[in-house]
Amino acid sequence: MPAFSEYMAPHGGIHSMETFKPLVWAGTVVLVVLGLFLLVSTNHLLNTATTSNTVSFGGEGKVIAKPDIATVSLTIVTEGITSKAAQDANSQKSKSLTDFLKESGVEDKDIKTSSYNINPTYTYPPSGTPRITGYSVNQSVGIKIRDLDKVNDILDGVVTAGVNQVSGLQFTVDDIEKLRAEARELAIKDAKKKADVLEEQIGVSLGKIVNFSENFSGYPTPIYFAKELSADGRGGMGGGGPSIPAGENEIIIQIQITYQIK
């Protein structure tokens, strides 16, 4: 009679259980994989069920702020027969401008060259090849004016100091992120208030927040003020400087919060 670990094959042969161990292991692995698949699928279905039942609320926060700085772009243009001559002339005007700005209370940290370009100038004869007759240096300087009472005088004085053009004047707030945070807090309170009203009105119970989005607006719009030198070298505007109101900046944050419904 065959041992316990052996059995009779259909045609009378005797096979050991060792012969079928690979099949047993393979079957075990298949069962484990199927179990994990069912577990993951069930978890996915549960998560889908909890996140598909959602509701969203919009909120808006608005902060009105009085500008505390003015920013403006100043352009110096100089020409010379050689590149060095044009740069030397530009350096003199740039120094004169910097000296004037410092005397007017503008700090070093608020004076920054934003671009500096050297370009050849050409003459174009009726026939023949264009030839270089000189060089032009174009330097743009961005400044911040923190004392808004001095804006008019500074804009009027920079031309005398050597600036050819003043443009891109903006009145804004230096710490814009602080105002954004205040507006965001108001927007979140607005959205949560709407959520509380819905819970009370229809008796729904809200769960955790599953999504949040934000939209920001409120950067200042440039004032298209320009002041250029006239042909005789004097300022294009006279009479003690322009009168430019600073106005107010409106910072607006719009948010949307999405809740799960329990």
Residue 206's domain comprises 55-64+178-217+255-261
DSSP 8-state secondary structure symbol assigned to residue 234: S
How far apart, in Å, are the Cα atoms of 78 and each of 113, 179, 182, 235?
A: 15, 41, 46, 16
**Domains contained in the chain, number:** 3
Query: What integer pLDDT is reported at residue 29 of this predicted model?
Result: 59
Same domain, 160 and 240: yes
Structure tokens at 109: 């940290």
Same domain, 98 and 119: yes
CATH number, domain with residue 114: 3.30.70.2970
Same domain, 151 and 31: no
Same domain, 80 and 38: no
Same domain, 38 and 121: no
pTM exceeds 0.85: no
Residue whose C-alpha is closest to residue 253's, from 207, 174, 190 = 190
Whether 208 is covered by a domain: the verdict is yes
The H or E element containing residue 189 is helix 176-202
Query: What integer pLDDT is reported at residue 217 of this predicted model?
Result: 79
Query: What integer pLDDT is reported at residue 204 of this predicted model?
Result: 83
Query: What integer pLDDT is reported at residue 247 of this predicted model?
Result: 73
Q: Which residues contact 76 (CB under 8 A, 6 or more apart)?
A: 90, 93, 94, 97, 137, 138, 139, 140, 141, 162, 163, 164
Query: What integer pLDDT is reported at residue 20 of this predicted model?
Result: 54
> Are 131 and 122 spatial neighbours (Cβ–Cβ below 8 Å)?
yes
DSSP 8-state secondary structure symbol assigned to residue 220: P
Query: What integer pLDDT is reported at residue 28 of this predicted model?
Result: 65
Same domain, 84 and 120: yes
Give the neighbor-by-neighbor strand order of the sheet with 131-145: 111-123, 131-145, 69-80, 165-172, 227-228
Query: What integer pLDDT is reported at residue 127 of this predicted model?
Result: 81
Same domain, 138 and 76: yes
Q: Could you give the 3-state DSSP secondary structure of residue 145?
A: strand
pLDDT less than 50: residues of the chain: 3-7, 15, 40-42, 44-46, 48-49, 224, 226-242
Whether 1 is covered by a domain: the verdict is no
Same domain, 40 and 142: no
Please, what sign has the CA dihedral across residues 156, 158, 161, 165? negative
Same domain, 73 and 186: no
